[in-house]
Amino acid sequence: MSIKKLITTIYKIPRSLAGPGNRKTLKILSNFCNNRIKVKSFKSNTKFNNWKIPQEWIVKKGIILDKNKNKIIDYNRNNLELVVNSESFKGYISKKKLIKKIFTLKESPNAIPYVTKYYSKNFWGVCMKYKDFQKLEDTKYFVEIDTKKKNGKMNYGEYFIKGKSRLEIVFSTYICHPQMANNELSGPVVMALLINKIEKFLIKNKELNFSYRFLFLPETIGSIAYISSNFRKLKKYVHAGYIITCVGTKSKFKLVLSPKGNSISDIIAKQTLTKKLNKNWETRSFLERGSDERQWCSPKVNLPFSSICRSKYGEYKEYHTSLDNLNFISIQGIKESQNLYFEIFKNFEESKFYFSNSIGEPKLDIYGLYPKISTLKTRKKIRNLMNIIAFCDGKNNEYSIAEKSKLKINYVKKILKNLTDKGILREQKRQYD
């Protein structure tokens, strides 16, 4: 299946937090990846902290007819025309009452807005273009919304590649938004392409240095449920992670940093972006976050997650509207995004991370590394040595250590090998592994 065929196939599948559309989407994505993605689930009404897994929301029909029986609202025409999680309603309604149920965007009159009422009860609503809203006549309208909520499953997809190290690099995306291209489909499509490309890489290289986990989750509640269910394992083994979202256009890449801005994921992303694009990319602080980095970087979880977007959520006028359609994204943009994330993967595979075994500075003389006579030359050598050790906290690879120490990379690699051989440093594994 081509990239274009994959996108057009899953574009109109109705999705929400839970329901058959999510399962269908995951199945198609898994087929695209040679059935590597395993479809898993959480049961409806299962509680995670203050959150609860929702019921499945199934739409059988969603229309509103005018007096001439023309469809002014049709869920099958565009899933955004029905507010997500709407209850059933059937009957005639006046314009005065109907307009209280309609959501529009006056500032974007040709766009249908995306509106959700995930946790509301006894509510129904519809969305339409403001220009069509203005044309509504003062008459009665026939509404037929036929939806069903049932206890079932909230599905997600997962694929895991075991490497030499138990330390994991996690890539996560979401599969819960209906009929939007950049904000929804670009993430899952890029990640499916990334999985296939890494699998091809694995055929030639046989084994990877790190382990890799790929997650297709309903946004927010999916991540909260997954993290809560796997908390200890994630805290122990996640080395770095990325949220793949809004990567379907040809706009500049934007790196959304982790809270402190200097995590492993930040460092590797900056290195990769600079290597591939020089200075032709931008950064956004954690204050400008908007996807599941909110959960992975939350205070108690506190894992090193970043995100690289293109047309970033909240920054383009088509965001969360019907204008975020197949014409808004490009195959070239998707391929470029896949290639960038693959370069991040390769950077991890080619990198070595070091952890100091000492509480405080190591006593270098017992290793034969401290000179018996102190001179300007030897003091400089020791200072370089201690500077290298100072950055061996597991967050920095050789290139980052060299940059921070202001030393040449080949010299740093030589010193790191010597320190590791003598047991002063440990490579890659955390000290509690």
CA angle 346, 417, 425 (to 5 degrees): 95
Q: At residue 146, does pLDDT exceed 70?
A: yes
Q: Residues 357, 362, 363, 369: is their CA dihedral positive or negative?
A: positive
Q: Residues 305, 310, 312, 318: is their CA dihedral positive or negative?
A: negative
Same domain, 173 and 306: yes
Whole-number Å distance between alpha carbons of 292 and 216 = 11
User: Which stretch of 146-150, 282-286, 298-302, 426-430 has the lowest confidence by average pLDDT?
Assistant: 426-430
Determine the average pLDDT of the residues in 398-407. Answer: 85
Q: How many CB atoms lie within 10 A of CB 38?
A: 12
- Residue where a domain stops, chosen among 129, 150, 171: 150
Same domain, 319 and 369: no
Determine the average pLDDT of the residues in 322-330. Answer: 96
Determine the average pLDDT of the residues in 195-213. Answer: 92
**Is the whole-model pTM more than 0.75?**
yes
Same domain, 291 and 392: no
The residue to which tokens 């006028």 are assigned: 317
How many helices (H) does the chain have, and how many strands (E)? Answer: 13, 19
**What is the structure's pLDDT at 433?**
40
**What is the structure's pLDDT at 9?**
95
List of long-range contacts for 356-361, beta carbons under 8 Å, 24+ apart: 356/389, 356/392, 356/393, 356/424, 356/425, 356/426, 357/423, 357/424, 357/425, 357/426, 357/431, 358/424, 361/386, 361/389
Determine the average pLDDT of the residues in 261-281. Answer: 93
DSSP 364: G
- Residue where a domain stops, chosen among 150, 170, 201: 150
The residue to which tokens 């019907």 are assigned: 322
Digit-coded pLDDT (tens) for 44-73: 999 998 999 999 999 999 999 999 999 999
Strand partners, 317: none
Cite the beta strand spans of 196-296 per DSSP E.
Answer: 211-217, 238-243, 253-256, 281-284
The answer to whether 353 and 395 have CB atoms below 8 angstroms apart is yes
Using only the alpha carbons of the chain, give its radius of gyration: 26
- Give the residue ranges of DSSP H helices in 231-375: 231-237, 264-277, 293-296, 331-350
Same domain, 345 and 239: yes
Residue length, the chain? 433
How many folded domains does the chain comprise? 3
Domain CATH number, residue 390 = 1.10.10
The residue to which tokens 């809004």 are assigned: 246
Phi/psi at 310 (5° precision) = -120, -90
The burial of 408, by beta-carbon neighbours within 10 Å (0-12 exposed, 13-18 middle, 19 or more buried), is given as exposed
Same domain, 278 and 164: yes
Whole-number Å distance between alpha carbons of 406 and 377 = 17
Domain CATH number, residue 127 = 3.50.30.90
Whole-number Å distance between alpha carbons of 52 and 383 = 54
DSSP 184: I
Determine the average pLDDT of the residues in 390-418. Answer: 85
Q: At residue 431, does pLDDT exceed 50?
A: no
**What is the structure's pLDDT at 432?**
39
- Residue where a domain stops, chosen among 287, 318, 350: 350
Q: Is residue 432 part of a domain?
A: no
For the chain, the distance separating the N- and C-terminal CA atoms, rounded to the nearest angstrom, is 41
Q: Is residue 161 part of a domain?
A: yes
Write the CB contacts of 388 (distance below 8 Å, at least 6 apart in sequence).
401, 405, 407, 412, 415, 416, 419
Per the rule left: phi > 0, alpha: psi between -120 and 50, beta: everything else, 365 is alpha
Write the CB contacts of 193 (distance below 8 Å, at least 6 apart in sequence).
3, 334, 335, 338
**What is the structure's pLDDT at 427?**
80
Full domain range(s) for residue 294:
3-54+153-350
pLDDT band at 23 (very low <50, low <70, confident <90, very high): very high
Q: At residue 129, does pLDDT exceed 90?
A: yes
Determine the average pLDDT of the residues in 199-210. Answer: 90
**Pairing of the two strands 353-356 and 425-427:** antiparallel
Q: Report the percent of the chain where pLDDT is more than 70.
A: 95
Whole-number Å distance between alpha carbons of 329 and 214 = 23
Same domain, 250 and 110: no
Same domain, 331 and 412: no
